[in-house]
Amino acid sequence: MTLHRYSIGVDLGGTNLRVAAYHQHSTDGGQLTEIVSLPTRVGDGPHTVADDMSAAIVGLLDKYGRNEKLAGVGLGTPGPLELPEGILRNPPNLPGFDRFNLKQAIEQRVGAPVVIESDANLAALAEFVLGSGKSYGVRSLCMLTLGTGVGNGIILDGKIWNGNNGMGGEAGHNTVDPDGEVCPCGSRGCLELYASATGVRRMAEQARALDQDDAEIEAESPMLTARHVADSALAGDSRALKVFDRVGTVLGIGLGALVNTLNLPLYVIGGGMSAAWELFAPRMMEELRMRSYVYRLTAPTEEESRARSPRKTHVVRAELGSDAGILGACLLPFMQS
Amino acid sequence: MTLHRYSIGVDLGGTNLRVAAYHQHSTDGGQLTEIVSLPTRVGDGPHTVADDMSAAIVGLLDKYGRNEKLAGVGLGTPGPLELPEGILRNPPNLPGFDRFNLKQAIEQRVGAPVVIESDANLAALAEFVLGSGKSYGVRSLCMLTLGTGVGNGIILDGKIWNGNNGMGGEAGHNTVDPDGEVCPCGSRGCLELYASATGVRRMAEQARALDQDDAEIEAESPMLTARHVADSALAGDSRALKVFDRVGTVLGIGLGALVNTLNLPLYVIGGGMSAAWELFAPRMMEELRMRSYVYRLTAPTEEESRARSPRKTHVVRAELGSDAGILGACLLPFMQS
């Protein structure tokens, strides 16, 4: 009798904490069978968050562990993250967590092996195993997750590229405008400042493109505001269209460097902001074509694009939605074995 | 009786063609035992160049092949190069060579297996096996070769990163100034436009920093002019100093993106322009520190720098000189076996 294999995945966000059980059918197929969602009690410190997380994990382990074989616990966290140690390094979305060893804290509490990764790397892993990576049959890809920030994950030859310290794939902070806006990261003109929902909101405010007063904007989340700007753009508002034009331009510049440097077969744009694909993608592709001769030499024709030709460079919208991060966390334990 | 192992390496440049024999003592030791240098007869077309190259290779094969075991022939060429096919793709320094299959042409003429790579990748390989990569004991590095252009080669986990089409490692054409000068590659503001000898020459002309008339500059090679500008800078000329300040700034921006994206333990600056290291490196390191929080989180202290700490990000001057390219060509056949 063979036991079914399952894993537990955790998606630790600055606001919500989600813990899921995932059942694998095949190496590239499976499903989330249960998701537990909790608030992240950041203000109460990392140990409280670790307690909450562990209680939810243990609940799922108790439920499924009797009849099924655990592949492991995968944990996604906002970066930067130092690997293989599993130590958080001053994560902007988790104040008070600097130098906290999350991997160790959870392993001690749940008594099971924990594998940890940055959330953007896990979104890329999920997209690689279950999304566009599977559709295109590639061994490598680079993903940009456009959310409140711009996350980045790179898969090379079937594995997450962690680099020397676990900090590979932070292209959201590559410079796209050397004299641009100041970034909380300490630099200026980072991709994230323009290609994120936060960036769209700021640029819209700067352009006063919205038909509502500033106080109202201030009270809303960046993602909601980005949606308003997208609606205005779709309705033909020229200032809102200009904002997404800027999003496309900086993405083209950023992708150009990634294509020149890595020459991968697949670049994937995901995250909540990718819903505005039609508004920024044409400008993005035009800018990419100008910025990267490697792209021009390897760009697919329309037919090669449809045929997903393996020797061409494809730039596509992510296939997985907002569950990419937690799916990646669930897949992670299976990648180790 | 064991035969000594040797290889033949070719460095195909736009002006000169060099063919060398290399004898290996150990996996990371050996020496160039003979170098044949010829003019590259670019104007007579690719078949003439292939004939010249093959005659020199056959000469060395005849000389060493009797008593020694050939590991193979390694061939370095200006890019872009399509791999694994070995087809040149519109190389700016080899007009008339577009779509020429150089690997096949040489294999047919010399009757031995030929491995082909872009010259910047081979400089990185040599630096990895015999230079700073060996000194630092790393498995991965990224090298920028500052010559008349800016070449780039990336070694990941002990192997040249070719990417999907053999065009990985073209970071010399990453954008460092989106609205900058127009580049022959079709983009604007590429790193190569500022961090190369050609860039230094152009910037110096623009600043009229040299105490000689324009006609004289025009007649000189970029590398020679870059040396004049460096001499002026060393003598305290403020306009020449400003040129190297710009070189340092754009290198910091370019390296910042490479560090954020790849998080490698070692970044190497080589090529003729690296002789001006003291003139651009302080500004480069300052800019890199500002541009990349991954660098700031992993930057070595002075002591860690001296100790070459493996978990830190080191940025160093290349250890090998102008023979890096041909040494890399000679090493290439040994990497395949």
Residue range B164-219, pLDDT digits in tens? 999 999 999 999 999 999 999 999 999 999 999 999 999 999 987 455 555 555 56
Distance of CA B113 to the CA centre of its chain: 24
Phi, psi of B32, rounded to the nearest 5 degrees? -75, 120
For residue B169, what are the contacts with CB-CB under 8 A and spacing of at least 6?
A261, A263, B118, B120, B121, B124, B142, B152, B153, B154, B160, B161, B163
Percent residues over pLDDT 90 in chain B: 85
CA dist A332 and B9 (Å) reads: 43
- The three-point CA angle A171-A88-A130 to 5° equals 55
DSSP B173: G
The verdict on a CB contact (< 8 Å) between B165 and A311 is yes
CB count within 10 Å of CB B274 equals 19
Please name which of B125, B132, B102 lies closest in space to residue B22, comparing C-alpha atoms.
B125
Q: Running along chain A, 337 residues long, what does each successive block of 10 average in pLDDT?
A: 80 94 86 95 95 97 91 94 91 89 96 95 97 98 96 97 96 98 96 96 81 58 88 94 97 98 98 97 98 97 97 98 95 86
Measured between CB atoms, which of A82, A154, A297 is closest to B167?
A297
Q: Which of A80, A185, A263 sits opposite B167 (nearest CB)?
A: A263
If phi over 0 gives left and psi between -120 and 50 gives alpha, with beta otherwise, what is residue A42? alpha
Q: What is the ipTM, given to two decimal places?
A: 0.95
β-strand B87-88 against B29-39: which pairing, if any?
unpaired
User: Of the candidates B237, B254, B137, which has an alpha carbon nearest to the alpha carbon of residue B193?
Assistant: B254
Within its chain, how far is the Cα of A100 from the centroid? 22
Q: How far apart are CA A23 and CA A7, in angstroms?
A: 7
Mean pLDDT along residues B149-153: 96
- How many Cα atoms occupy the beta-carbon half-sphere of A320 within 13 Å? 26
Question: Nearest CA of chain A to the CA of B183: how many Å?
Answer: 10
Look at residues B199, B304, B306 and name the one whose alpha carbon lies nearest to residue B251. B199
Residue B48: name the closest of B83, B5, B81, B96 by CA: B96
Q: Tens digit of pLDDT for each residue in B6-38?
A: 999 999 998 899 999 999 988 778 899 999 999
Query: Which chain A residue lies closest to B185 (C-alpha atoms)?
Result: A293
Average of pLDDT values for B132-152?
97
Residue A192 to residues A123, A203, B1: CA-CA distances in angstroms? 17, 12, 62
CA B194 to chain centre: 16
Contact assignment for B170 to A260 by CB distance below 8 Å: yes
d(CA B105, nearest CA chain A) in Å? 22
Substitution target in A98, A255, A260 with the highest count of B β-carbons within 10 Å is A260
Question: Alpha helix locations (H) across B65-184?
Answer: 102-110, 119-130, 132-136
Measured in whole angstroms, the distance separating CA B64 from the mean position of its chain's CA atoms is 28
DSSP state of A312: S
Distance of CA B39 to the CA centre of its chain: 20
**Residue B65 near residue B4 (C-beta atoms within 8 A):** no
* pLDDT at residue B5 greater than cutoff 50: yes
Those residues whose C-beta lies under 8 Å from the C-beta of residue A88, and which sit 6 or more positions away, are A77, A80, A81, A82, A94, A97, A98, A99, A100, A102
Looking at residue A1, its pLDDT comes to 43
Per the CB < 8 Å rule, is A89 touching B297?
Answer: yes
Whole-angstrom distance, CA of residue B203 vs CA of residue B221: 15
B311 with A164: Cβ contact below 8 A: yes
pLDDT at B1 (0 to 100): 43
pLDDT of residue B223: 81
Chain B residues with beta carbon closer than 8 angstroms to that of A260: 167, 170-171, 173-174
CB A274 within 8 A of CB A132: no
Amino acid at B266: L
Mean pLDDT, rounded, of chain B: 93
Q: Indicate yes or no: CB of B165 within 8 angstroms of CB of A296.
A: no
pLDDT tens digits, B228-274: 999 999 999 999 999 999 999 999 999 999 999 999 999 999 999 99
Helix runs in B235-315, H state only: 238-262, 277-291, 293-298, 302-306
Contact A76, A22 (CB under 8 A): no
Q: From chain A, pick out residues whose CB is under 8 angstroms from the CB of B171.
A: 257, 260-261
In angstroms, the Cα distances linking B128 to A11, B123, B132, B195 are 38, 8, 6, 22
Task: Look at A257 and B257 and tell me if their CB atoms are within 8 Å.
Answer: yes
Per-residue pLDDT at B242: 96
**Alpha helix stretches (DSSP H) within chain A:** 46-64, 102-110, 119-130, 132-136, 192-195, 197-207, 214-219, 222-234, 238-262, 277-291, 293-298, 302-306, 324-336
Residue A315: both structure tokens together: 């730039």
Cross-strand partners of A143: A153, A268
* DSSP code of residue B79: S
Instruction: Print burial letters for A37-50: b (CB count within 10 Å at least 16), e (below 16).
Output: eeebebeeebeebb
Going along chain B from its start, the domains and CATH numbers come out as 4-125+324-336 (3.30.420.40), 132-317 (3.30.420.40)
Neighbours of B259 (CB within 10 A): 30
**Amino acid A41: pLDDT:** 95
**Residue A132 and residue A291: Cα distance in Å, rounded?**
24
CA-based nearest residue to A191, from A167, A172, A170, A178: A172
Over residues B327-333, the mean pLDDT reads 97
Distance (Å, whole) CA A329 – CA B7: 47
Q: Which residue in the set B178, B257, B298 is minimally distant from A177, CB to CB?
A: B178
| Chain A residues inside the 8 Å CB shell of B264 | 163-164
Say which residue the tokens 């002026």 belong to: B232
